Every structure is written in C-alpha cells, then in structure tokens.
Amino acid sequence: MPAWLRTDYICFFGAFLSALGMSQLAPLLPLYLHDMGVTATNEVAYWSGLAMGVTYLVVAFVSPFWGRLADRKGRKISLLRASFGMMLCNLLICFVQTPEQLVFVRFIQGLVSGFFSASVTLVASETPEHKMGWALSVLASSNLAGSLLGPLIGGYLAGLFGIRTSFFVIACCLGAAFLLIYFLVHETFEPQPEKVPHSFKELCSQLPHLHELFIVAASTFIYALSIMSLQPIITVYLNEIMPPHTPHLALLAGAVFAATGFAQMLSSSFMGRWIDRIGPRRILMGSLIYTAMMTIPQAYVTTAWQLGVLRFLTGLGLAGLLPSLNTYISTHSPKHLSGQVFSYNQTTQFLGYFMGSVGGALFMGEFGFTALFWGTGLLFLLNALWVYTKLKS
C-alpha cells in the first residue's frame, strides 16, 4: 500500500473518532447533568448549551495558532497533539463532579482539538495531486460520519456501560489513533520555520492567490452558515407540517436529519473522483446550484417522507462542497503555508456553524420557515454566481 494511502486511511480513522468524541456528549448531557445534581429544566438547558458551544467557539479561535505550529514543526505532530489531547479530555470528563468542571474540560477540549484540520493539511501535503479530490472527500466523509454517529454511539455506550464509562471507551479509541499515527504515519513534508510568517498580514503577503483563497474562505463560511441554519429547526418544522399528536416525531426527525449526512457519506468518494477529473471549481459551482435547487422546495413539503427525500438529495450536493473547497485551497496554497491557510479556513467554518445555529432560529422566528428555506437557497445561488465570476480555475 502506498504511504500516502495508508496515511489517508489512518487519518480517516482518527478524524472519525475525533468527531465522535466531540459530538457524543450531546444526547448524554441532560442525564449527566442530572447525575451531578442539576435538575431544573432551565439550568439543564443553560449548562448543556454552554458545554456544547464553548468547544466549537474555542476551536474557531485557536485554529490559526495550531496551523502556524504545523507549518513550523510538521503536520504529524499536530495529529499527535490533537489525538492525545482529546484522549485526556475524555478521560477527564469521566471524573467531573460539577457543571463548572464539565464546561472547563470542554473548554480545554476546544484548545487541544483540531484533528480534522491537521489531517486535511497532512493528507493534502502527502497525496499526489491527481488523487487530491478523492483523498480529501474520503476524509470529509469520516468527519461527517463521526459527527452523525457520535450521538448514537454515545447513547449506546452509555446504556451498555454507563455514562462515565462511555467516555473512557472513546478515550481508549483515541489512544489507539494516537499510536497508529505515531508508528505508521510517515511525513515527507520538511518544515521550514524561517519561511513561516509570524502574523496574518505577513501570511497574506506570501499568498499568490490571496483573492481566490478569500472567496473560498467566504464560501466555507456560507456553507457552514447555511447547514446549521436549517439543521436545528428540522424537528420544529416537522411538528409544524405533520398532523397533531403524530407518534414517534422524534424518530422521524432523527431519520430526516440523518438522511442528509448519509447521502453525503455515500456520494463523497464519487464526488472526489470527479473533482480530480474536472477540477474543484466546476464541482463547487455545480454543487452550489444543485443544493440551492434542492433546498427551496423543502419550504413546500407536507409530509415527513417528502422532506426526508429532499434532505437526502440535498446531501448528495453537499458532498461536493467541502472537498472541492479544501482541494482548491490545497492546489492554490504554498505547501509550507498550507497549515495556516487550512486553519484560518476552519475558523471561518466554525464561526459559520455558530452563527448559523443562532441566526437561523432567529431568522425563522421573525420571517417563518418558507423565508428561511428560500433565503438559504438564494444564498447558495449567489455564492455560485460569485464563484463563477471571481474564482479562477
């Protein structure tokens, strides 16, 4: 097996576990907080939101620091740092006794996270250019799979072993990822610390395709904003369109929510091969237009299965967005600076997730569901027009 392919598979495994470790807490938080003595509904909601949100916000702001370190010291060390740090944080969560301690550990988890960004940088550095789209698409599917299956696996492990033990199991898996990376991943990239810029301004001055990379970062933000503006309101939307007292509404919402992610996973490898054949710009434009066309009709569905089918079809288009954006970054960034470029792009992505989850609910509350679906679809179309007119191939 070629070294680059082995690296891609190991990063796939590690990115899956990292995303799983970040997301598995979601369904367990109310129960875990109850075990700590938090029983009031408003307090459970407050601490749950704080514990989940703090990690993603911290990741957004510390990513550039880790990206600069990756360019100075190498990409493999960033993977080792992230996997080991995530392992320790999951172990610490096993022993927290108060909500404050839980939030603090989640804050630390945000500081040491960034496995996916580091793995994207490493894979982009080690993979032959004609296989770049496929490798980054496979990697993106692993991160998505971990985020999608994390709540399910976390709930299953908690039911099987108990909440605290479930975090210990995930910590052991992350420890296994650390060992695999340490012994089996061999990096050919040679750091050149003297060429690594010390500031964002200096970094910009060394990027020959700065304007294009800015458009890519803005497109990543729009992607994340649009995704998260819709996902949190799926259950509410189903409750609106379904008859009163519909049984198993939560199960239906979960199936509709999962349909998008499963479609992305199924089509990611196929989309990656097309990125390698015709280039990331064309796939990006096509995916944006297709996703817009699948998003707007969701405003007019009347049943759960109609929404589920459209969400699945939307996922097929979304599968081409993030890999094409990452491939474009990889092919238009100097190799010795790609760690920082990818990390700043991840910052815009996580800020988009945060603002989408908050802004989507506010927009829906003010203008309604129909306006939210139309607004999201039009945002994708405007992004496609921007890419067509301003982004060079």
Kindly report, residue by residue over 9-25, the tens digit of the pLDDT.
888 888 888 877 777 77
pLDDT digits over 253-281, tens only? 767 877 887 888 888 888 989 999 999 99
Prediction pTM value: 0.78
DSSP label of 368: -
- Hey, what's the torsion of the CAs at 46, 170, 322, 103, to 10 degrees? 20
Contacts of 303-308 with C-beta under 8 Å, sequence gap 24+, read: 303/241, 303/242, 304/238, 304/241, 304/242, 304/252, 304/255, 304/256, 307/234, 307/237, 307/238, 307/241, 307/256, 308/255, 308/256, 308/259
The reported pLDDT for the residue numbered 26 is: 65
Place of tokens 């306006």: 371
Residue 379 CA to residue 222 CA, distance in Å, equals 8
Cα 5 to its chain centre, rounded Å, is 22
Place of tokens 């921007």: 386
Residue 345 CA to residue 203 CA, distance in Å, equals 13
pLDDT digits over 220-237, tens only? 999 888 887 876 677 678
pLDDT digits over 66-83, tens only? 888 888 888 888 889 988
Residue 246 CA to residue 248 CA, distance in Å, equals 7
Of all residues in the chain, the percent with pLDDT exceeding 90 is 23
Place of tokens 């108990």: 162
Residue 61 CA to residue 351 CA, distance in Å, equals 9
pLDDT confidence of 249, banded at 50, 70, 90?
A: low
Average pLDDT of the chain?
A: 85
For the chain, the domains span 1-184, 202-393
What is the H or E stretch that residue 218 is in?
helix 210-230
* Among 202, 137, 158, residue whose Cα is nearest residue 35: 158
- The answer to whether 1-184 and 202-393 have equal CATH topology is yes
| Three-state secondary structure readout of 26-39 | HHHHHHHHHHCCCC
| Region 24-40 average pLDDT | 79
Place of tokens 């939101």: 49
Question: Reduced to 3 states, what is the DSSP secondary structure of residue 337?
Answer: helix
Expressed in angstroms, the distance from the first to the final Cα of the chain is: 32
Q: Are 88 and 37 in contact (CB under 8 A)?
A: no
Residue 307 CB contacts under 8 Å (≥ 6 apart), including other chains: 234, 237, 238, 241, 256, 298, 301
Count Cα neighbours of 95 within 13 Å in the Cβ-side half-sphere.
5
pLDDT confidence of 287, banded at 50, 70, 90?
A: very high
Q: Are 354 and 57 in contact (CB under 8 A)?
A: yes
Write down the architecture of domain 202-393 according to CATH.
Up-down Bundle (1.20)
Write down the architecture of domain 1-184 according to CATH.
Up-down Bundle (1.20)
